[in-house]
Every structure is written in structure tokens, then in C-alpha cells.
A and B are shown apart, each in its own frame.
Chain A
Amino acid sequence: MPAITPEEVRHVAMLAHLDLSAEELDRIGVELNRILEYFAQLQKIDTEDVPVTSHAIPMTNVFREDEVQASLPVDEVIANAPDGVDEFFRVPRIIEE
């Protein structure tokens, strides 16, 4: 498997709105490549006769009926937010696209 390039690391960081220093980009590039090496082991398996799949469990059509269930109380909804104001989540400035 080809190694992930510094440009790809920068691109993914940009998509994730992560502002990384040059040193961080280098370190993360190395770490990502180490992770990809584990996946590279899978490449060695012969999958010639195995159909392409997106799910390991052979299931289809798992539905729920259209029934209303209780939602969480607002204070619990906000409980884990780093910055909650009254009944809202508050987030830092969004860069308008």
C-alpha cells in the first residue's frame, strides 16, 4: 500500500477544520502510515472469490415502526456540551462557506 503523503494529511486536516502545525503534520503523517500498515496486511489475503461487501452481517430491511418515544430532557441534552447557553449549544465562530 502506498504511503500517505504530506499533501494528503494536509488535505484531510483541512476537511476536518483542523489547524495543525508543520511539526504536528509530520508526526500525524507517521502515525497514519503506521495504522495503514496494519491494513496492508489484509491486502495479502486472497479475496478472489469473495463478493464486494459493505456489511459483515447478512441482514437487510431492519426497520422500526413510526412511533414516537421520549426524548431526553433539555438539561441532559446540553449536559456534555463544553458551552451550553440556556437550552442551546453554543459554538465558536463558524467560517461561512
Chain B
Amino acid sequence: MAWQPCIGLEVHVELATESKMFCGCRNEFAAPPNSLCCPVCLGLPGSLPVPNRKAVEYVIRTGLALNCQVAETCRFARKNYFYPDLAKNFQISQYDEPLTYGGYIEFVADGEPVRIRIRRAHLEEDTGKNIHLPDGRSLVDYNRCGVPLMEIVTEPDFTTAEQCRVYLLELRSLLRYLEVSEANMEEGQLRAEPTVNLINSQTGQRTPKVEIKNLASIKAVHDAVQYEINRQLHAVEHGEEMFQETRRWNQQRGITTVMRRKETADDYMYFPEPDLPPLSPDPQWVAQIRASLPELPQQRRARFISQYGLPQYDAEVLTASKSTADYFEAVAAACADAKAASNWVMGDVQAYLNEHNLDITSFPLEPQRLAGLINLINEGVISSKIAKQVFPEMIATSRTAEQVVEEKGLKQIDDAGQLEAVIQEAIAANPKAVEDFKNGKQKALGALVGFVMRQTKGQANPQLVNQMLRQKLGA
């Protein structure tokens, strides 16, 4: 294919500080309208912004994790535009001197290793929210105005929609490990705007750049980018005229539509913010931040494979969230069977959390107790089938696995004498299976074992049942 997609991603991240970027108003989602405002974030005359140290630290932290350089010195800039989501008619942002720049991130997408260059990660302030009324007027809520916002811009290195999807998953996971943002796209804490165009690998010719907005989920980003690649490919093949424009993703119809055409570059009249002196992060402070970086998802994934011998798939699922990985490690440490711990966490635990819409941090079954259940299986006290019954009981009662097994009398039956009668019964009740087995059909034994397991409510030791049946049938 001569035409190759060329995609860049701009991501905005609301930082999880206690207070806003330049004032002491609380940084909180979903508070009553305009209840988190003061003269600074309302841009009232005579007020002066003062930067939040934590927000600066969070951007440096993220920049370092993305292999960026930290600027020796940088300035804030005023981005001027007139729209009621800004009380001051300008946004404090960064322009030609970002706080961090020149990094990269590596991951695997479409089965191939990918390296995406990070152009910059800088600091700015978020804007307020407009609620449009039916009569055309708008209501404005400035609670979000002045919330610290990090902008992460990649080079246009993505070539597929899948790469964009995996990048956003990786970035979200990284931001959560770094504890700089909750990074929920649904709550607008993470917002992604792709820019898509095509380049002709033979002639070097390029199609005009199209920016896509209104993307409320990682899946929407993937679908919109894929749609846009196809739309542009169709346009070049049919010689249709194309424009540099901003397009809106329509979730219901699964298409992008034109929002505005860009005749000229946006005229924001950037200039250095006179109210804020420059930043020159102390190298010692930067070194401290670097030293305090936690084990990051990619490192932890590699360690899960080498230390616990887990398959790649398990390592990826478990490390996607820090709290899930922490939970798994606590279970694995207490039961010394990492693969069983992984299966339980990815299987029954995750299913319970999904069903009850819970986060693992509020899962009522502590790692120690789950480890106890795994130990009972490994010691042969109960079968894994019985364990599936014990599990919900443990969640509901906060008892240990031993206690539940004891109280409910669920111990595995390992005594041949106790099984004698039911084995006889199985043979008497299934003449057809007995016949088949004697004629060399090994699979027929399964029906007899199944009968015994049903009669004992799953408590018979399946190996023992197997062995006894074979003996009785003279195999």
C-alpha cells in the first residue's frame, strides 16, 4: 500500500492534586456548580496565580517515566482566546518551553514491538464547563476551571488504530501506577485527541491533517481513528478533495463529521505569562523524584514472568492495574502457588468484582483468606469444584476456608470404605456405561465418575473414585 497512516495523539490528563493549579480551591469532580471558585480561578482583577508544587512534581514524575528530559528552565505562557469556558479570556499553558520533552514509550501492538516518541509533557490549567440551553444561551460552571492539566503530545508515529488503543491502555496504567491521576476517560480525567493523515511512501505526498474530537472512551479513539484512516484512503483513491479540519466522532453512527475547517493556524497570540516567574526545577529535586518512581507496569510485567513463571497473558492482565497486581502478589506470597493465585484473581475474583461493580481495593476477601482456600485445594482437603462453593461463602461470611469447609461438611471423601456403597450404586444404575467400558470404550468411565460425584455433591476424591471403579470393573 503506497498510502500509510500517520497518527499523532494529544492527551490531556487531570492531575489528582488536592487543590487547583494556581489557587487553593479544592480539585474535585462533581461538586455543586461554582462552589469551588475564588478570585484567582475566576480571574478577578488584582488576583495573582501561584503554582501548585505538587502539580509540577506530577508532570516531572510522568515525564521521567516517559523517558523525557526535564527542562532546566521553562516558562508558562498565555494562550489567548475568547470563549466562556475561560473566566479570564486566556488559559495559562506552556508554549515553546515545556516542562518535560523528548521522551518515548515502548509497547507491543498487533504482535509487533512499537516505539512512540513523546514530544512533550507540559502543564496547564483546565477550563470550565458549558451547559447549552435550548434557547441557545449557555450556563457556565467554573469548578473545573484552574484544575491542573497535563498535556502529553506524541510525535505522529502511530500507523494503526490498534497502536493508539494499546498506547492509551499503557498510558492509563502508567498514570495510575505513578498515582498522578485517576485517569478515567468516562469522568473526563483522560481525554485523547488524535490527528490523522496519510503519507504516500513513494511520492512523500501528504493528505491534510484531520483532528478528531469528542472521544469518550479508548474504544471510541480506536474506532474513530480506524474510520478516519478508511475515509481518507477512500478519498485519495477516488481523487476527492480533502481539507485540514476538525471532525467530531459520532458514537451512535460510528462516523466522523466536520466541525470546522482550518483556513489558518489558530491565532492564540501566545506570550510569556507575566504573573508567573519562570520554573527551574532543582536538579536535586528532579533526582529525588526519579529515585521515588515506583516499579512501572512494564517492569512489573517482566518480573511477574521471571519471578512467578506466569504466562505473558497473565502478567499483562494482572499488572494492568496496580491494585490488582498488589492483590495477586499478596495471594501468591501466602500460598506459594502463583499460577493458582493468578487463575483465581483473573477468574472468580474478577468475575465477582465485575458483577458487583467493585474495585479490588474494596473486595471483601483478603489475600490471606484466598490463599488459605488455594492451600486447601493443593493439600487435597477439597476439590477445586468444591472450592467454587466455598469461595462465595467466604466472601459473604468473612470466615476462613477451613471454617467454611468444616461447618458445611465439605471435606473431600478420601476414605474408600465411605465410597464403597455409592460406587456399587453407580455400577448398578449405569449398565450401558459399564458395558461400553468393558468393550474398551475408556470414555464411558466418565459417566460413572460423574454419577458418583453428583451423589456425593462433588466431595468424593475424583482420583480415588476413578481407581475404585477401574478395580471393580476389572480393568
Interface residues of A (CB under 8 A from B): 11, 15-17, 54-55, 57, 59-72, 74, 77-78, 80, 85, 87-94, 97
Q: 13 more A-B contacts (CB under 8 A) besides A68-B18, A68-B25?
A: A15-B80, A16-B82, A55-B277, A55-B278, A61-B281, A63-B51, A66-B55, A68-B26, A80-B44, A87-B34, A87-B35, A91-B139, A97-B83
Contact among B17, B32, B34, B50 for A63, CB-based, below 8 A: B50
Query: A71 with B38: in contact, given A57-B277, A61-B282 (CB under 8 Å)?
Result: yes
What residues on A are CB-neighbors of B136 within 8 Å? 93
Of the 9-residue stretches B196-204, B266-274, B389-397, B454-462, which lies at the interface with chain A? B266-274
The reply to whether A93 and B137 form a contact with Cβ atoms under 8 Å apart is yes
Query: A55 with B130: in contact, given A66-B54, A77-B42 (CB under 8 Å)?
Result: no
What residues on A are CB-neighbors of B281 within 8 Å? 61
What residues on B are CB-neighbors of A88 within 8 Å? 33-34, 131, 139-141
- Smallest CB separation, A8 vs chain B (Å): 12
The reply to whether B35 and A66 form a contact with Cβ atoms under 8 Å apart is no
Confirm or deny: B403 has a beta carbon within 8 angstroms of a beta carbon on chain A: no
Query: A67 with B24: in contact, given A15-B267, A61-B282, A88-B139 (CB under 8 Å)?
Result: yes
Dominant SS at the B interface?
Answer: loop
What residues on A are CB-neighbors of B272 within 8 Å? 54-55
What residues on B are CB-neighbors of A71 within 8 Å? 25-26, 35-38
Query: B24's closest neighbor in chain A, by CB?
Result: A69
Give the CA-CA distance A89 to B34 in the complex, in Å. 9
Confirm or deny: B75 has a beta carbon within 8 angstroms of a beta carbon on chain A: yes
Give the CA-CA distance A91 to B44 in the complex, in Å. 17
The reply to whether A17 and B34 form a contact with Cβ atoms under 8 Å apart is no
Query: A77 with B282: in contact, given A62-B50, A66-B55 (CB under 8 Å)?
Result: no
- Smallest CB separation, A51 vs chain B (Å): 13
- Smallest CB separation, A15 vs chain B (Å): 6
The reply to whether B53 and A63 form a contact with Cβ atoms under 8 Å apart is yes
The reply to whether B277 and A90 form a contact with Cβ atoms under 8 Å apart is no
Q: List 12 A-B contacts (CB under 8 A).
A: A15-B81, A59-B277, A62-B50, A62-B277, A63-B50, A63-B51, A63-B52, A64-B52, A67-B18, A87-B32, A93-B136, A94-B132
Give the CA-CA distance A70 to B19 in the complex, in Å. 10
Query: B73's closest neighbor in chain A, by CB?
Result: A60
Interface residues of B (CB under 8 A from A): 17-19, 23-26, 32-39, 42, 44, 50-56, 73, 75, 80-84, 130-133, 136-142, 259-260, 267, 269, 272, 274, 276-282
The reply to whether A78 and B34 form a contact with Cβ atoms under 8 Å apart is yes
What residues on B are CB-neighbors of A16 within 8 Å? 82
Give the CA-CA distance A57 to B278 in the complex, in Å. 10
- Smallest CB separation, A97 vs chain B (Å): 5
The reply to whether B82 and A60 form a contact with Cβ atoms under 8 Å apart is no
The reply to whether B24 and A64 form a contact with Cβ atoms under 8 Å apart is yes
What residues on A are CB-neighbors of B36 within 8 Å? 71
- Smallest CB separation, B38 vs chain A (Å): 5
- Smallest CB separation, B90 vs chain A (Å): 11
The reply to whether B280 and A60 form a contact with Cβ atoms under 8 Å apart is yes
Across the A-B interface, the 6 shortest Cβ-Cβ residue pairs? A69-B24, A54-B272, A66-B54, A88-B139, A63-B53, A93-B136
The reply to whether A17 and B82 form a contact with Cβ atoms under 8 Å apart is yes
Contact among B34, B38, B81, B83 for A94, CB-based, below 8 A: B83
Give the CA-CA distance A71 to B52 in the complex, in Å. 16
Query: B77's closest neighbor in chain A, by CB?
Result: A54
- Smallest CB separation, A91 vs chain B (Å): 5
Give the CA-CA distance A76 to B136 in the complex, in Å. 26
What residues on A are CB-neighbors of B38 within 8 Å? 69, 71-72
Query: A90 with B51: in contact, given A17-B82, A54-B274 (CB under 8 Å)?
Result: no
What residues on A are CB-neighbors of B82 within 8 Å? 15-17
The reply to whether A97 and B260 form a contact with Cβ atoms under 8 Å apart is yes
Give the CA-CA distance A40 to B87 in the complex, in Å. 32
What residues on B are CB-neighbors of A65 within 8 Å? 52-54
Query: B44's closest neighbor in chain A, by CB?
Result: A80
What residues on B are CB-neighbors of A87 within 8 Å? 32-35
What residues on B are CB-neighbors of A59 within 8 Å? 277
Give the CA-CA distance A54 to B74 in the complex, in Å. 11
Query: B82's closest neighbor in chain A, by CB?
Result: A17
Query: B58's closest neighbor in chain A, by CB?
Result: A66
What residues on B are CB-neighbors of A77 within 8 Å? 34, 37, 42, 142
Give the CA-CA distance A60 to B38 in the complex, in Å. 25
